[in-house]
Amino acid sequence: MTTLKTPILTLVLSAVSAVIQTILVSFIAYKISGLFDLAITLLSFFISFIVSFFVIYFLYNTIIFEKIDKLYLLVKSQQPKEIPNTEFQLDEVDSIERLEDEIKKLAQERHKESEQTRNLDSYRKEFLGNVSHELKTPIFNIQGYISTLIDGGINDPTINIEYLKRADKSVDRMIQIIDDLETISQLEVGTLELELEKYDIAQQVKDVIEALEFQASKKGIKFQLSKKYDKAIFVKADKFRIRQVLVNLITNSIKYGKDNGKTTISINLFDEQVIIEIKDNGIGIAEKHLPRLFERFYRVDKGRSREQGGTGLGLAIVKHIIEAHGETIDVISTINEGTAISFTLKRSN
């Protein structure tokens, strides 16, 4: 339909122009000879129509279309796509409509881009605010301990060693935050290269459980494997990074688990993948928090998390690591009942 619009428009304009010219010619002829000659009128209409048609066609093609072509090329060059042949012909395409389409598309893209820039900007501001806020706490603590020691506390044997130990702990906390931030930025920029190797995930799960058992026992939390897993289950993954994932998820199950609770770890085998699930019967997470859970610094209950020494970077790192492997991570949680987080890994034979 659109391709017909321009030729039809040219025909209509030519006809209108021809009618006007014919009326004028007939009127002049009538004035001169006092007669109305149908043959002259028809001839005049025919000639005017042909001349008008070619004049309009020429104007369209050479002046307007040339300009449209240039505009179209300019609009197209703003888009990252390939530029097709844009030589328009009157009877081929309606370039005005195509131009309109391209301009609309371009406007939509620009709108999307500016929205993304705005989001990134507020994300960056929020991120900087979070980093400085998180670092302030240990820095102020260290400052407090040192000031007390300078003001005479250094000579008080009841507090001097204790305050130095506390300051040392705050330094550790700062180092941990900076390490986490470094890991996140490496994962985001893509400079962190995974070292993929074939190893036994069942053994690794057992090792991590053993390492965290003492921490869990302080809350009376018991670890449970859903099966014995006495045969090796080989995966192809970055062993160090996956250990980081397991430590983070199992630590969360302790931190946000109920006293005397239970954490169950299962490894489910599929043809090409394994799914590792860490399930607790702890405080759970309300549904409204789930979509933002993996964001940097996101904590459901800031007070509780900070009390546990959490920064809210753990799950962001976990997600990045899993995605860097090309795998997925999922969370199911019910408040006051518990949380199950599962991720996939590639099997290796």
Ligand X SMILES: Nc1ncnc2c1ncn2[C@@H]1O[C@H](COP(=O)(O)OP(=O)(O)OP(=O)(O)O)[C@@H](O)[C@H]1O
22: partner contacted, choices Mg ion, ligand X, none (Cβ within 5-8 A by kind): none
Could you tell me the two tokens for 123?
């994300």
Q: Identify whether the C-beta of residue 245 lies closer than 8 Å to the C-beta of residue 321.
A: yes
How far is residue 254's CA from residue 216's CA, in Å, rounded to a whole number?
6
* 3-class state of residue 199 by DSSP: strand
How far is residue 63's CA from residue 311's CA, in Å, rounded to a whole number?
65
Q: From residue 299 to residue 318, what is the string marking binding to ligand X with x (rule CB under 6 A)?
A: xxx---x----xxxxxxx--
201: partner contacted, choices ligand X, Mg ion, none (Cβ within 5-8 A by kind): none
Q: Any contact of residue 283 with ligand X (CB under 6 A)?
A: yes
The window from 11-19, 236-244, 252-260, 286-294 that contacts Mg ion (CB under 5 A) reads 252-260
Q: Which is nearer to Mg ion, 95 or 252 (CB)?
A: 252
For Mg ion, the binding residues in 306-325 under the rule CB under 5 A are 314
The window from 95-103, 195-203, 227-235, 245-253 that contacts Mg ion (CB under 5 A) reads 245-253
Largest CA distance in the chain: 131
DSSP state of 109: H
Q: Any contact of residue 48 with ligand X (CB under 6 A)?
A: no
Shortest Cβ 341–ligand X spacing (Å): 7
* CA dihedral (171, 173, 175, 177) positive or negative: negative
The window from 96-104, 142-150, 229-237, 297-305 that contacts ligand X (CB under 6 A) reads 297-305
- Give the other-Cβ count within 10 Å of 20's Cβ: 12
339: partner contacted, choices Mg ion, ligand X, none (Cβ within 5-8 A by kind): ligand X
Side-chain-facing half-sphere of 68: CA atoms under 13 Å = 22
Q: Which of 10, 44, 252, 344 binds ligand X (CB under 6 A)?
A: 252
CB-based contacts of 224, cutoff 8 Å, min separation 6: 262, 263, 264, 265
> Which residues are at the interface with ligand X (CB under 6 A)?
248, 252-253, 255-256, 280, 282-285, 293, 298-301, 305, 310-316, 339
> Which residues are at the interface with Mg ion (CB under 5 A)?
252, 314
